Chain A
Amino acid sequence: MPGAIYAEGLVKTFGDVRALDGVDLDVPEGTVLGLLGPNGAGKTTAVRVLTTLLRPDSGQAVVAGIDVLKNPNEVRRSIGLSGQFAAVDEYLTGRENLRMVGQLYQMSARDAKKRAGQLLERFHLADAADRTAKTYSGGMRRRLDLAAALVVSPPVMFMDEPTTGLDPRNRQQLWEVIQDLVAGGTTLLLTTQYLEEADHLAHDICVIDHGKVIARGTSDQLKARTGGERVEVVVHRGHQIESARSVLAAYGTGEIAVTAHTRKLTVPVTGGARLLAEVIRDLDGRGVEIDDIGLRRPTLDDVFISLTGHAAEQAKNGEAGQTEAGPTEAGAAGADRDQKEGER
């Protein structure tokens, strides 16, 4: 039986660009699918097709048991959409925005008013309810936008990069809201370019690039595909990088990635904690001072790099497919981001 969101062979071209190139999706009821990919991968196009905003050139889609192409208006009754921009009217108050959306979902004026009040409470916007959205912070606007998508408690939700541009605290808050929703039985399709976000929220992940699904599975399954652990070392002084490199070469099972400005070396290994102890002793014996050392499991970043041959970050700058990053550079970019995650 097809899931709450089901798509088969979706194709959409814009001029020469194949934004969707045969995408299949199947999201079981009550689960979260993370659609992961760089900008321009086709994530937003997929969401627009599934939410009736865009007609695909070919393929079919069923959302909440309703055929998207045949009965778009029926689908609209059963979905909520929270887009990349906080699509709220900034000259209306939070309350007015939600009432308007409620009425456009064909609620009576009274129900729409009541529902707006509930949602404002739930999203911690009650104090700001009667101020225009113009005065809201970015995080408040996103919450209002999400509240608007939830006016009818739709069984199926689409969120297109819900946390892009939010600070860590607001992102955390939004994640909690999303987890609540899913706990309540909502099926969710979430797009993101933050690997960490997909890792955190999604039951299943689809990696999409150039309009094609290039991998799917749970976060753990995808990580397992990329395989082994790595040792990461941050040396104290720049000139010690070379000595550290010669030490690591003896233990590594692959190429050593070096990021000079952070004085970080990364090398794939097998052997786990016991090996780590040996590495530390050996580095010490050579007089290499270390600021940090650790055994890292693969992150979704690594998965992404190994699948696409380029880092998500680089694709973000619009270079996808043009400058394929070499393994060393890619490894370094991945390692860089790990550090950022560590700092969070």
Chain B
Amino acid sequence: MTATAPTPEFAPRVRRGAIAQSVMDSLVVARRNLIRMIRIPEMVIFGLIQPIMFVVLFTYVFGGSIKVGATISPQAYREFLMAGIFAQTVTFATAGAGAGIADDMHKGLIDRFRSLPMARGAVLTGRTIADLVQTTLTLVVLAGVALIVGWRTHENIGKVLLGFLLLLLLGYAFSWIGALIGLIVRTPEAATSGGLIWLFPLTFISNAFVDANQMPTFLRHIAEWNPFSATVQACRELFGNLPPGFVTPEAWPMRHPILASVLWSVVILLVFRTLAVRKYRSATA
């Protein structure tokens, strides 16, 4: 090996603007996470199996027996169900982000990143961007499966796409919750379960799988104000999937679901991004 004196040619470059640097660094990290995703395809595939199973099971097992709106009909439930499953699927990105960040902590990569002159939030932003890409792919496949089992939309394409945008925004906001969990728990195993457990009550005490109007009053209030329900309700409206005879609840988020969905997602995003970036700065593996 030959001695190499420090070569000025490879000194760090002059600083870019703070925002430009932040964007560049985030993209570099996102690229890295996407390469990982391609090299570990089983993670993407397992991420798909669960929602597909839910689509099939709920459609065929529960489909004929759950009353939504004023009807008990397999077709009405099928259409009602899909917004709920789409929304649940995007929130499961939380577990992926959490496990990924915890893994990086565990392997010492976070230390490496923190010792580099890079934008502070970029490691987390890069991770959540990659998760957003994965969520998008998952949604596309899932929508395909939903179409196969008989799901249909009854609104124009613009509204349908807006519905999917709301879903992606919700998923992106939730992946920041996952990032925070990943920084706190430190092992990928704990991050996976820690990222999932609370999602079950959150997504089940909601309007995702049943018509919340038929819940006991106490649960119904929780379901109507559940941030998750706003997105589900918004998607049902935008997809034209509200069941015949559906009575829109009085609660404000159910009356204005699109606005409520955006507000909830933005609030979650801002709060958890702030907390996660702060935690990252002081993170010690």
User: Are the C-beta atoms of A89 and B109 separated by less than 8 Å?
Assistant: yes
Task: Tell me, rounded to whole Å, the shortest Cβ–Cβ distance linking A184 to chain B.
Answer: 5
Return the chain A residue nearest B15 by Cβ. A106
Confirm or deny: B28 has a beta carbon within 8 angstroms of a beta carbon on chain A. Answer: yes
Interface residues in A71-90 (C-beta closer than 8 Å to B): 73-74, 76-77, 79, 81, 83-90
Chain A interface category by residue count: 35 or more
Interface residues in A128-170 (C-beta closer than 8 Å to B): 132, 148, 151-155
Return the chain A residue nearest B120 by Cβ. A73
User: Are the C-beta atoms of B7 and A153 separated by less than 8 Å?
Assistant: yes
Confirm or deny: B3 has a beta carbon within 8 angstroms of a beta carbon on chain A. Answer: yes
Q: A48-B284, A91-B39, A152-B12 are in contact. Are A184 and B3 (CB under 8 A)?
A: yes
Binds B, one of A95-103, A207-215, A323-331: A95-103
Question: Chain A binding site: helix, strand, loop or mixed by DSSP?
Answer: loop
Binds A, one of B110-118, B160-168, B184-192, B240-248: B110-118
Binds B, one of A33-41, A50-58, A277-285, A289-297: A50-58
A-B contact count (CB 8 A): 119
User: Are the C-beta atoms of B36 and A89 separated by less than 8 Å?
Assistant: yes
The answer, among B21, B29, B35, B112, for a CB contact under 8 Å with A106, is: B21
Return the chain B residue nearest A80 by Cβ. B115
Q: What sequence of 0s and 1s flags, for each residue 86-126 of chain A, a beta carbon within 8 Å of any chain B beta carbon?
A: 11111110001000111111111001000100000011100
Q: A81-B115, A104-B116, A180-B1 are in contact. Are A111 and B107 (CB under 8 A)?
A: no
User: Are the C-beta atoms of A180 and B6 separated by less than 8 Å?
Assistant: no
Q: Give A148 to B13 CA distance when docked, in angstroms.
A: 17
The answer, among A83, A87, A91, A152, for a CB contact under 8 Å with B40, is: A91
Q: What sequence of 0s and 1s flags, for each residue 179-202 of chain A, a beta carbon within 8 Å of any chain B beta carbon?
A: 011011110000000000000000
- Which positions in B face A, CB cutoff 8 Å? 1-7, 9-13, 15-16, 21, 24-25, 28-29, 31-32, 35-36, 39-40, 107-109, 111-118, 122, 282, 284
Known: A77-B117, A107-B12. 11 other contacts (CB 8 A): A73-B117, A85-B108, A88-B109, A92-B35, A100-B29, A102-B10, A103-B28, A104-B117, A106-B13, A153-B4, A184-B3
Query: Could you write out 24 A-B pairs with CB less than 8 Å apart?
Result: A48-B284, A52-B115, A76-B115, A76-B117, A79-B115, A83-B108, A84-B108, A85-B108, A87-B111, A92-B35, A103-B28, A105-B12, A105-B116, A105-B117, A123-B1, A132-B39, A148-B112, A151-B10, A153-B4, A153-B11, A176-B1, A180-B2, A183-B3, A184-B3
- Which positions in A face B, CB cutoff 8 Å? 48, 51-55, 73-74, 76-77, 79, 81, 83-92, 96, 100-108, 111, 115, 122-124, 132, 148, 151-155, 176-177, 180-181, 183-186
